[in-house]
Structures are given as C-alpha cells and as structure tokens.
Structure 1
C-alpha cells in the first residue's frame, strides 16, 4: 500500500507541475496575448486534481500499516520451540506436516525432544544498568511446558525439575522472578484454554 501511495504522490506532483507551467494565454488579432478564461479554469482544475492526488498519496504513505506475514512453514514456535526447520534434515516444514517430506522423520518424536533445543542462554539480557529477563523467551518456555503438562492444575509441581534446570543459567537475583513469570504465563494459558 505504501508503494501505491508513493506512486500517487509522484503522479500528483507531476500533474501539479504540468498545471503550473501550462500556458493560459492566447494570441490576439493585434499581435498581443490575452489570458483565456477557459484555459485558466482548466489549469485551476488540474492544480486541484494534482493537489488531491498528492494528499491521497501522502495519507497512504503515512497511515499505511505493515502487512502481517503469516508463516507458511511449520515453526516449532507453535509448540514452544525455536527451530523453524526439521530438526533432522533442516528443511522447512509445512504447518500441517506430521512427518517431514524431505527425510521422512516423525515430527512427534521431535516434539518429545523439543525441550532440549531451547536455547536459554539468552534468557538474561543486560539493559545497560542491570540484568533483566527476556520475557518473550520466558513466555515461550512456559507455553512449551504448559503444552506437555498433563495435569494443568499442578503445573508448577509437575514441571519443578524442568524449571529448576532452566533456572540454573539465571543469576540468583532473577530466579524468583523467572519462576513467578513461568507460573503467571501458565495461569494465563489455562485461562485461555477454557
């Protein structure tokens, strides 16, 4: 849409420039030139049309939103993992695939080993003053844990060992916050599941 707005802006500018340079005078029988009211009116119309096209183009450029691109490949992000390719052959996988068309691997087996592919090394970020948690990564990890938990009402106790293992890479001052955020996201996911 921004491309169309840019095109309209350029066309509007060209029309306005042509209108401003348009000759509205006609020769007289006495060797002079006089302004023609009809040509002046035509020039005025072209100037207004050009300005309107410029305005439309500017509005399209300013207020145009980026299109949301929906992924066409199956990303393990849907299951809480960060790989976007088959874990066995590294080829892209379609969203509805349960078996990789390239290597024939069963993707449900990959799902069971999904937790091992979480890269939690970037879970702690430094904002220039202090360490903070990468909230998106915490949310994705909680989503994964929630998806593999059988008894959602005992989420934290059922995943205690996994959460402790993940917390081992986190500085001590952030471990409590990490566990609280995992618990928060699990409760959010259980609310939306109902």
Structure 2
C-alpha cells in the first residue's frame, strides 16, 4: 500500500505541475495581450491585478505543490532502502567479553579493549 501511495503522489505531483504551468502561462498570455496604451490605465491596472490573482499566482502555487509532492515521493523512497545483508562472516567472531563482532585473527577487541585469543581460519 505504501508503494501505491508513493506512485499516486508522483503522478499527482506531475499533474499539478502541468496544470499549474498551463494556468500560469494563460495568465502570462493575458498580461501580454492586454491593451498597453496610455488611455487604458484603469483597464490595465485591473487587468494586471485580475490576471495575477486568478491565473499567475494560483498557477505558480500549483507548480510548487506538485514539485513538493514529487520530491516527497523521492525522499520516501530513500527512507526505505533495501536491507544490507552480510553473507560472509567467516573472518569474524564474537568477543567473549562484550559480544561484539571482531576479526577472527584479532588478539585485542576493538570495542572493549580486552585481550582475546587469536583463532585461525585454517
């Protein structure tokens, strides 16, 4: 279920980025297409405010949310790495004093400092 939720988060993030980008581009296109003449200053001011509030800002917010969802998906994938398993422990053994793993040929434990007898792998 966790994998399915991460997959949906990535898809939704991409969808929000696309929709937000298109929405912001529509607002930018409206701003460029406005009448930029000196006699239309009232229309220009209201048009800029309208386009910024209705198209550009919400579009950029959607892009930001989509990016956040996609990056969160990547972070969640990194939080659950595959477990590291060691198959070859033949050159190690437990310290008889502290039970930590030490080299089989060690004469002194690197964890507790106790002297131990060396064991050969022969």
> What's the TM-score, normalizing by structure 2?
0.50
